[in-house]
Structure 1
Amino acid sequence: MARILIRAATILTMDDGLGDLAGADLLVDGYRIAAIGRDITANDAEIVDGRGRIVIPGLINAHMHTWQTALRGFAANWTLLEYFRRMHAGLATLFRPDDIHIATLLGALNQINHGVTTLVDWCHNNPTPAHTDAAVRALFESGIRAAFLHGSPKPNSKPGQPHFSEVPHPRSEVERLLAGPLANRDGLVTLGLAILGPHYSTLEVALHDFRLAREFGLIASMHQGGGPAKTPGGWELLIKAGLVGRGINVVHGNDLSDDLLKRLVDLGVSFSVTPENEMIQGHGFPITGRLLNLDARPSIGVDLESVLAGDLLGAARTALSAQRALDNAESRRATGAIPETTTIPVREALRWITLEGARMLGREDQIGSLAPGKFADLVVIDAQALNLSPVHDPVASVLMQVSLANIEAVMIGGVWRKRDGRLLFDSLAQRQRELAQSGERLVREIERQGRAP
């Protein structure tokens, strides 16, 4: 692979030792970063002019249901209860493997376009191995780094069939995927489990699924919240069984009590917040501040493009703004005045979509910051654009002002996936037509069945 030298850029490494560097160079050798500093010599490298550019670590989208891309905006007016009924028990049941493939492919490409280099793809509409394989194939085809979290569908049960909460995660599929396309634990696409957890399953199923994840050394991620728990007291029983710790990821968590949240944090559980969707659909306020009060941090996810935009920087801004608003309101209640200074700096929010995403995946030694030896996953931002210039504080500019139009280039594992503001993917227009056709068929079919929203 080629050697690439980005010269004279502002580099936000998000590495505590390296810090922020102005007018600095970054050398990529193969799929890793070889050096960061000033006046790096690399006579055989391709030179990229970094003047007027900000280079940041590739963003990490910690939670997204990419299979819903063809239904963009269709669920924008649904509450969470409507989403359960109309998506999982309705539209989801109509997906063919080809629908999963094109949605995952275009959803992943859109993430790259927005500066995301690692996507946690929470795939819970895979009724057959063909659906699963279609999603995995699409992730590889897109070129994104991804954690494919294998889940399970949630339709209404038919007569004689068990409810989905009573169905353990399929061991055979885990074994098949680890023996096949996802065998490389450090590869571009890796496997994790999207399980039901104690909130959406029976205790027997929760115990089975937690043990399955531990047996194979896989991340186990689960939704927490949205109606009453299927297994009240389930977390306490799982903790007592010694199954809760690092490698367990809770998505949302809005309804967790303060005591239970602290216990989970102390045990090393990670948390992924999807701030926009949580506030839109009725989960509650994001737990960002509650985590910070426990000296923990969230990772951030987009969640649902069927509801909102696939813009991770926008999601981080929403998380920051919502928590600042809560903090300001609490200060007014307690003292009659707003805080004398902001409660959360912008660098903290940038950390949520870089380092904390890597930590959620247990891959902070490989991704999430820019440092020699780490994967060359990075984003180049045009800081001379009308909406950014002049830049007084590059961290603030990135977190608070960057839009899709500013994402000039994206590199994943030393390979340019976006360059000069354009995705480097063949036949994009044709694939977009296929996505539109998929979405139109799904909506037409649900309406034909008389189950229209």
Structure 2
Amino acid sequence: MSRTLLRGARVVTMTPGRPGAERVDVLVDGDRVAGVGQDLDVPDAEPVDLAGRVLIPGLVNAHLHTWQTGLRAVGADWTLMEYLTLLHGGAVQHYRPDDMYVSNLAGALNQINCGTTTLGDWCHNSLTPEHADAAVEGLVRAGIRAVFLHGTPYRDPDLPHPLTEIDRLLDGPVRDHALLTLGMAVQGPQYSSPDTAVADFRAAAERGLVVSLHQSGGDLAPGWDAVRAAELFGPRTNVVHGSDLPDTWVKALVEAGVTFTSTPENELGQGHGTPVIGALLRHGAAPSLGTDVDTVVPGQVLTAARIALAHQRSLDHAHHRQHAGTHADTPSVTAKQALAWATVEGAKALGLADQVGRIEPGMQADLVAVDTRALNLWPAHDPVAAALHADLANIEAVMVAGRWRKRDHALLDCDLSEVKDRLRSSGERLLHAMDAV
């Protein structure tokens, strides 16, 4: 089993009780972190000099519809209703399994390139078992850690989630891959009848799966009360967006242990409503982050973190001026909190908090080296802020489960030319089919 000793970096462990950044060595043994400390002496380990870099836990993109990668940016000017009409009402029916495969492969590779090591793949276009298997295979081929959240196109509110597919995936395609976990991307209480919502939640609980659902503004449907009455909201429930949820509901869900994933760039641009971040903070919780749809916004979770931070600070500053008549003396949210949203909180939302999101012995060796020698980050006086401010060009190396997936600013073990050609062909065919409708 290989051992690697990472030296010279300033390390942001995200472990409670440790400093924001430390000059320590990190020992990787196989797929796990085996040691974090100063001047580790491990003669049989391969040394890697990371002087001038900041080492952080792998980023977690907790919500991405990766199957849309082939239609990247076609909806940059879409509202939410245009997105639902043109994509879900038009393009979905034209997807073939190969479209699912190449979109998931290219989308997952892009996430690795951007420093994401764990992906919440919200795959609500599993038209057939073949579509689902192709999507899973794309994730496997990319080498990313992922929670494959199985879903289907929007359907009748009384139609339950296809549990035969969930059990089939559990028994084969997902179970066979160490980096994959299965979850359920359900229509949820907002878009299902009360009985159906309860049945779907109960099925997920019986299988020990994360159940994730969309909610974006508007009055709450009756299914919410039904699921709450059945006492099925809990730590393995993930609410995506949660925009404009009544404060009483946010409080109740937080108390039940429910996690939230905000996709701030898309939420603000498409009209989902006010991001739930402020409400969560008021109740002692925090969001995880996602980028949602490559059809509309770029897929960089660090960008999402910076937008979330700036937007929440803006709201808090405005509130302070309104009530105190002057500017605030201190920031309401810190850079380290925003980085935690993209690491620790993402791991929690996907049910992987005991495996990823922090750099400490026993955790999976999912690591990102940020090159702070580049002009846009130099001099990196504050390592945490430097990591948060990093762009794609600064993501020098990415390790997933102890294996390098990116080194020296280049992805490894993939033929990008072939992937790009297949992705372009897929996207062009889908666009042509959409235009013909």
Structure 1 letter corresponding to 2:190: H
Please give the alpha-carbon distance, in whole angstroms, between the structure 2 residues aligned to 1:393 and 1:213.
42
CA shift, 1:21, in A, is 4.5
Contact 2:20 2:384 survives alignment (8 Å): no
Question: Are 1:181 and 2:204 counterparts?
Answer: no
1:130 maps to 130
CA shift, 1:406, in A, is 0.4
1:190 maps to 181
Q: How does 1:79-118 map to 2 (within 5 A)?
A: 79-118=79-118
Please give the alpha-carbon distance, in whole angstroms, between the structure 2 residues aligned to 1:375 and 1:261.
32
Question: Are 1:172 and 2:164 counterparts?
Answer: yes
Structure 2 letter corresponding to 1:210: F
SS class of match (2:33): strand
Structure 2 letter corresponding to 1:388: L
CA shift, 1:176, in A, is 0.3
Please give the alpha-carbon distance, in whole angstroms, between the structure 1 residues aligned to 2:262 and 2:414.
34
SS class of match (1:4): strand
Structure 1 letter corresponding to 2:168: R
Structure 1 letter corresponding to 2:209: L
Question: Are 1:429 and 2:420 counterparts?
Answer: no
What stretches of structure 1 move > 4 A for 4+ residues in a row? 226-229
Q: How does 1:386-401 map to 2 (within 5 A)?
A: 386-399=375-388, 401=389
Q: Give 2:313's match in structure 1, choosing from 293, 299, 324.
A: 324
Please give the alpha-carbon distance, in whole angstroms, between the structure 2 residues aligned to 1:81 and 1:252.
16
CA shift, 1:226, in A, is 4.7
CA shift, 1:16, in A, is 1.4
Contact 2:194 2:224 survives alignment (8 Å): no
Q: How does 1:148-163 map to 2 (within 5 A)?
A: 148-154=148-154, 163=155
SS class of match (1:68): helix
Taking only aligned residues, the RMSD between alpha carbons, in angstroms, comes to 1.2
Contact 1:153 1:164 survives alignment (8 Å): no
Please give the alpha-carbon distance, in whole angstroms, between the structure 2 residues aligned to 1:228 and 1:265.
19
Gapped regions of structure 1 (runs ≥ 5): 155-162
Q: Give 2:213's match in structure 1, choosing from 222, 238, 252.
A: 222
Q: How does 1:35-434 map to 2 (within 5 A)?
A: 35-154=35-154, 163-183=155-175, 187-229=178-220, 232-399=221-388, 401-434=389-422
Range with bigger deviation, 36-45 or 100-109: 36-45
Please give the alpha-carbon distance, in whole angstroms, between the structure 2 residues aligned to 1:287 and 1:226.
10
Please give the alpha-carbon distance, in whole angstroms, between the structure 1 residues aligned to 2:23 and 2:306.
27
Q: Please give the TM-score of this superposition, normalised by the length of structure 2.
A: 0.98
CA shift, 1:207, in A, is 1.2
Please give the alpha-carbon distance, in whole angstroms, between the structure 2 residues aligned to 1:19 and 1:42.
24
SS class of match (2:243): coil
Please give the alpha-carbon distance, in whole angstroms, between the structure 2 residues aligned to 1:437 and 1:269.
40
CA shift, 1:227, in A, is 4.8
How many residue pairs match? The answer is: 437
SS class of match (2:76): coil
Structure 1 letter corresponding to 2:129: P
Please give the alpha-carbon distance, in whole angstroms, between the structure 1 residues aligned to 2:262 and 2:235.
17
